[in-house]
């Protein structure tokens, strides 16, 4: 049986053997932050995905996709945020993240 490793050890292993996976995780972090915000706000209100969909004039499938960080349309995100009473704050990227994105694009 394989030996148990910590998350830090796993991250180090990924960085060494599969840096592309870490790059993908960093690249997708904004979508996951949005998804986590939507889930947290919905659960705080004790709403089902269906109730959020009704309040936001979306389908339950759209809400499900948002919560899985599958952001198809910014308009859908705005509708969900408005229904949940959430807003956006835009901040400068950390230098490391900005440099990594520039090198990818």
How far apart, in whole angstroms, are the C-alpha atoms of residue 89 and residue 72?
20
Between 11 and 39, name the one with better pLDDT: 39
Contact (CB, 8 A) for 77 and 45: no
Which residues does 85 contact at the CB level (< 8 Å), separation at least 6?
A: 41
Contact (CB, 8 A) for 14 and 85: no
Structural domains present in the chain? 7-104 (1.10.260.40)
Which pTM was predicted? 0.71
Between 42 and 1, name the one with better pLDDT: 42
Q: Please give the structure tokens belonging to residue 59.
A: 């389908």
Per residue in 32-83, pLDDT (tens digit) is 999 999 999 999 999 999 999 999 999 999 999 999 999 989 999 999 999 9
Contact (CB, 8 A) for 35 and 65: no
């Amino acid at each position: 049986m394989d030996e148990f490793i910590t998350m830090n050890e796993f991250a180090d292993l990924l960085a060494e053997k599969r840096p592309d996976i870490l790059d993908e995780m960093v690249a997708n972090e904004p979508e996951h932050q949005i998804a986590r915000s939507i889930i947290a706000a919905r659960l705080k209100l004790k709403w089902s995905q269906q109730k959020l969909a009704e309040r936001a004039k979306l389908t339950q499938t759209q809400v499900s996709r948002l919560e899985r960080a599958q952001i198809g349309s910014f308009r859908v995100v705005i509708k969900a945020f408005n229904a949940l009473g959430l807003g956006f704050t835009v901040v400068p990227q950390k230098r490391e993240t900005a440099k990594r994105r520039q090198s990818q694009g």
